[in-house]
Amino acid sequence: MSPLTSRLKAIDAPSIGLGCMNLSHGYGSPLPEREALRALAAAFEMGYSHFDTATLYGATANEQLLGKALAGKRSEILLASKCGMAIDPALGRKVIDGRPDTLRRQCEASLQRLNTDHLDLYYLHRWDRNVPIEESVGALGRLVEQGKVGAIGLSEVSAATLRRARAEQPIAAVQSEYSLWTRNPEIGLIEACREAGTALVAFSPLGRGFLAGAVRDPARLEENDMRRGMPRFSVENHARNLRLLEAFTALAEELDMTPGQLALAWLRAKGDDILPIPGSRSLDHMRENLAAASLSLSPETLERLNAMMTPDQVAGARYGEAQQAEVDTEEFDRSDAQPPA
C-alpha cells in the first residue's frame, strides 16, 4: 500500500478530493479572501479531507488560504502541495525550476504558509528539462528523510519519465488531467502507475467546467481566465464540442445525476487508484461533486460513455502552444481528428 493510500485510509477520506486552485488562480479574478476561507471551511465540514494546492496558485496566496482555513484540522486531512513552478516576483511571470536547492527552499516556504511542519504529499509541479528528473526527485527524497514530506508526487509527466523517477525514489502519486474528454493518461501513464502502485490523481475531471455545463459561452469568461487561451474553448471548437455535450447531458438526466456527477462517476469506475480532485467556488457544486463518490454505473452505461467524446471526436487540443511546451505527458495525434457531425 502506498503512503498516499495509507494516509487516505487513516483519515477515512472519500475517494474525491478538492482541488483548490480556482479559488486563487487561473479562472478569472481570485475569490475574496473571506469568501475563500468560508468555502474551505465548509468543504471540510461537508466531508472533504484531501486538499490540493501549489506554490504557483495565486503566487502563493492559495497556500496561505489553506494555512488559515485548515488550522487546527491538520491531523484530519491529507494536505498536498507542489513545487518546481512558481511566480517569480522579480520577473513577474511563471518560472519552472527543478533544481534541488530551489525545491528545498520552496518546501520550507510552503510549510510556513500552510502552517504545518510536514506535507503529506509533495509534487514536482512540472519537470524542468534542464535538470535530470533523478536530481529533482532525489531532492524530494531528502525532504522525505527529513520528515518534511510524507510522500513524493509528480505532475504532468509521461510514463517514461515516471519510470525514470521511480527508479530513484518511490512515487506515491502522479497528477494528470483526466476526464471523459481528456483521456491522455490511457495512452500509457495509467499502466506505468499500476506497475508500481502509484495513484493517479485526476485534475480537471470536469473538463475545466465544460462537462458540468458551466461554459456555455467562452466569450463570457473573464479576460484573465486561462480557458480563453485553450484551443478547445475557441469559438469554432467550442461550438463543435457543445454538440458532443448534448448526448452526455441527456444521459445524465436519464440516470438522475447531474452532468458533473456522471463525469466523476465515470472516472471512479476506472479504478480505486484513480482519485479525482474537482475544484469549485460554489458550495452547492462541492456537495454535488462529493456525493458522486457513492455513485456507481452499470456496464452498459460505461460502454455508452466510453463511446462519447473520444479523442478523435473532441475538437481542439487541451493546451495552447506555450502550455503544451511545459508538460511531458503523452498526447494523442490529432492530425486525423474529425469534427463532430
**Catalytic annotation, residues:** 57
Task: Please report which helix (H) or strand (E) contains residue 243, including its range.
Answer: helix 235-254
What the block records as the C-alpha cell of 215 is: 461554459
In Å, how far are 230, 245, 280 from 23, measured between CA atoms?
Answer: 20, 26, 8
Residues 290, 205: Cα–Cα separation, whole Å: 13
Residues 266, 193: Cα–Cα separation, whole Å: 19
In Å, how far are 70, 96, 164, 191 from 187, measured between CA atoms?
Answer: 37, 25, 18, 8
CB atoms within 10 A of CB 324: 13
Residues 116, 285: Cα–Cα separation, whole Å: 28
H-assigned helices in 12-52:
33-46
Q: Virtual CA dihedral for 291, 187, 208, 276, nearest 10 degrees?
A: 30
Residues 186, 191: Cα–Cα separation, whole Å: 8
